[in-house]
Structure 1
Amino acid sequence: MIPEDLQRLLPARAVLSCLGIATGGGFLFSALGLPLPWMLGALCAVMVAALARLPIAPAARIRPHTVAVIGVLLGGGFSPQVLEQAAGWTLSLAALAGFLVLAGGSVMLFLMRVGGYGRETAFLCAMPGGLTEMVELGADRGADARAIVLAHVLRIVIVIALIALWFRVIEGHEVSGVPVAPDGQLAGPRDLALMALCGIAGLWLGPRLRLPAAALTGPLILSAGLHLAGLVHGVPPAWLVIAAQIVLGSVLGCRFIGATLPEMRRSGLLGIGATFIALAIGLGFAILLEAALGLSRDQVILAYAPGGLTEMSLVAVAIGADLAFVTLHHVARLLMILGIAPLAFGLFPQSAARLSAQEGGEHDDS
């Protein structure tokens, strides 16, 4: 029997062990010169620890605060010039809806035909975003929750790795994920205080406004507003952004706790196939939009990539892409998915077996 005092210490020790492993992974990837080292290094190190069944736990309590740091950083990409350019993004935002339908439908068919997934599970796995919402949607319809979680987590991991490697190896960009102040201008004490206020107030405001990815978008909106108004200049210090990436990578790596190697092998192969399908379609849209609208192909690839808003925005920071363009498209993607996916999913007829089970449960209750 473990004493109560020791039981309370175990979760804290597991979290500290997780953060220690994540930090070591970040330093290793940085020393090797790999792209997006602090997030990818932390993620890979913790993922290996999770699969090895080491006693680790995610730093769930501090995650919203680290996400807020990234939100404030992304808000710094909004300048007064952004408002002049935003009108030209209407068509690319409209095309984004077409991309989601085409990519989501193609991945769904792939998972049904190749993976043998049921219709509901394949649909929820194919949606490029909204992990929690997709799991909740499938809970009452008999969808495979474990498959949905692994599909979404692996999609993000694979997209981060492929996109980071693409821009480092093919495009030749320095993909460090560390922010660089515009024109070498460092944020002064007043700017840092206002950015901290954006983070604190945004964490409180985001959930109350029911914003998607509230811990990120709340601080982002406030930071963007102050940067657009010219009241704040510069970005959060690099060490703080690095620390935030380590925490975020460790939390993502902890998603693999409890996964088995056979499960990972099957889900991983399907995840690679599904991700290549979505990225290939995204590349096609990027080429078309570059030719039709003169948009930067790199920026459209990042804006359409089915990875996480936070992670893709960090790549945009690293290569000097238009942060406002990338961030706005990812927020729009989340809004489209969260608004349309439940409606589309509700149109699926329930299987006879599922209906029978529900009717049996109703009779038992009575």
Structure 2
Amino acid sequence: MTDKGSGYSYVDSGPIILPMEEGSILRKNYILTYLIALIGGLCFAFLALPLPWILGPVTLLILYKIKGDHQTQSSLLLRDLAFWLLGIQIGLTFQPDTWTNIGPYLLPYALFSFAIIATSLLFAFVLSKRSAMETKTTLIGSVPGGLSAMIAVSESLQGNTVLVTIFHTIRLVSVLFIIPFAATHWLYMDEPAAAAVETHVEPSGYWTLLIYFLSLTAGYVVKKRIPASLIIIPMLLIGACQTAGIALYPLPSVLFIGAQLMIGVHLGHKIVLKDVIRAGRFCGYFFALALLLISLSFLLGFLLSEWTEMGLTTAILSLAPGGLIEMALTAQDAGANPAIVSSLQTIRLLIIVLVMPFLLEWFFNKPKRMNIKN
């Protein structure tokens, strides 16, 4: 039955919003979400807070969703384009000696990264034994890897994906609001080679825009095979051009600000504090784990800087259990070396995403294999 006055179609289960009306509501949510994000970015930029165009939108969108039952929306297309632009931005910070510079850091960095991962897994294993939580969900929820990658791992191993999402959200929020603030206010130092080399491009340099679009195409082609390909592929391709001395056309900085804003919208849309509260007392455990990993990254960062003579801020941000983009952008703001931070964070990301799923699958399927043999 249709009520012409109200614009709703009625069935036995109640009112159903018509497709046209639903589309109108959706467009309104999109516009409102990005407007709120822009206001948040402007406020944080005015207050000179760290990562204003990411943390500003995240903060304001979370507050917006807390009050009432407000809905937000995030465009996957804009998110992907933002990943691509930020991959380019990070790649442009590379210098001719960047690849050579990270060589001496690989062994100690790998050792300290494994120490952080092992600590998180040990914490999760003990927690699962002392609480009613399932071991599988606890372990997947504690690995300091990307949120989307760990959700995929949880679904493939049949863990509790809702709890995994909540636990990684707690870590993400903790890292986003603690690490950038500490790096920019307490650890700031103008380290050598921290700033990107200025590239003077002649008019003929416009052809290098093709390289940017090539990196986008390549990122999409291998999207299902390489984690975070829309960031990693442009970063590596543009970084390779920079180190080879190819003068790329400099993109307007407003594009990179817009990309950060899109990432802020994406994170602010995904983070739902009601879900965090719903997880109850377990949230406290994983918040404690986030603080432990952050403290450990500071300690091991200090040891890494002493061992390798890497700048202290660069070392801490390279080991921090946060996202590649956020830590690389923080490195720029904190006077560290974003090229080294992004390179080492990429290595850690690949280790976690490519190795951890197989390790966890082997661990959880081991009892089944033993039963079959018996």
TM-score range, shorter chain: 0.7 to 0.9
- Partners of 1:235 and 1:35 in 2: CA distance: 24
1:203 equivalent to 2:219? Answer no
Structure 1 residue 301: Cα displacement: 0.7
Superposed counterparts of 1:1-366, under 5 Å: 1=8, 2-52=17-67, 53-109=69-125, 111-112=127-128, 116-139=132-155, 141-172=157-188, 182=197, 194=208, 196-209=209-222, 210-232=225-247, 236-257=251-272, 259-260=274-275, 262-263=277-278, 266=281, 268-349=283-364
| Contact residue 18 and residue 46 of structure 1 kept, 8 A | yes
- Partners of 2:117 and 2:276 in 1: CA distance: 32
TM-score, normalising length: structure 1? 0.84
- Partners of 2:130 and 2:33 in 1: CA distance: 35
Structure 1 residue 265: Cα displacement: 6.4
Instruction: Select between 72-81 and 334-343 the one with higher mean Cα deviation.
Output: 334-343
Q: 1:78 to 1:140 in 2, by over 3 A?
A: closer
Instruction: Select between 237-246 and 125-134 the one with higher mean Cα deviation.
Output: 125-134
| Contact residue 153 and residue 357 of structure 2 kept, 8 A | yes
Q: Deviations over 1:209-241 (max 9, x none)?
A: 322201111211221122112112575322111
Letter aligned with residue 127 of structure 1: V
Q: Deviations over 1:237-284 (max 9, x none)?
A: 221111111110111011135834632765653343111111122222
- Partners of 1:266 and 1:26 in 2: CA distance: 32
Match of 1:362 in 2: none
Structure 1 residue 113: Cα displacement: 6.1
Unaligned 5+ runs, structure 2: 1-7, 9-16, 369-374
Structure 1 residue 12: Cα displacement: 2.4
Letter aligned with residue 213 of structure 2: I
- Partners of 1:291 and 1:322 in 2: CA distance: 16
Q: 1:232 to 1:36 in 2, by over 3 A?
A: same
Q: Secondary structure at the match of 2:77?
A: coil
Q: 1:214 to 1:187 in 2, by over 3 A?
A: same
Q: Secondary structure at the match of 2:76?
A: coil
TM-score, normalising length: structure 2? 0.83
Q: Secondary structure at the match of 2:20?
A: helix
Q: 1:263 to 1:142 in 2, by over 3 A?
A: same
Q: 1:240 to 1:341 in 2, by over 3 A?
A: same
Q: 1:351 to 1:219 in 2, by over 3 A?
A: closer
Structure 1 residue 157: Cα displacement: 2.1
Structure 1 residue 348: Cα displacement: 3.2
Q: Deviations over 1:166-196 (max 9, x none)?
A: 023322469xxxx97645x6767665763x4
Q: Secondary structure at the match of 1:62?
A: helix
Q: 1:292 to 1:207 in 2, by over 3 A?
A: same
Letter aligned with residue 270 of structure 1: Y
Match of 1:361 in 2: none
| Contact residue 22 and residue 43 of structure 1 kept, 8 A | yes
| Contact residue 21 and residue 46 of structure 1 kept, 8 A | yes
- Partners of 1:319 and 1:344 in 2: CA distance: 35
- Partners of 2:138 and 2:205 in 1: CA distance: 46
State the number of aligned residues. 348
- Partners of 2:356 and 2:150 in 1: CA distance: 8
- Partners of 1:104 and 1:229 in 2: CA distance: 39
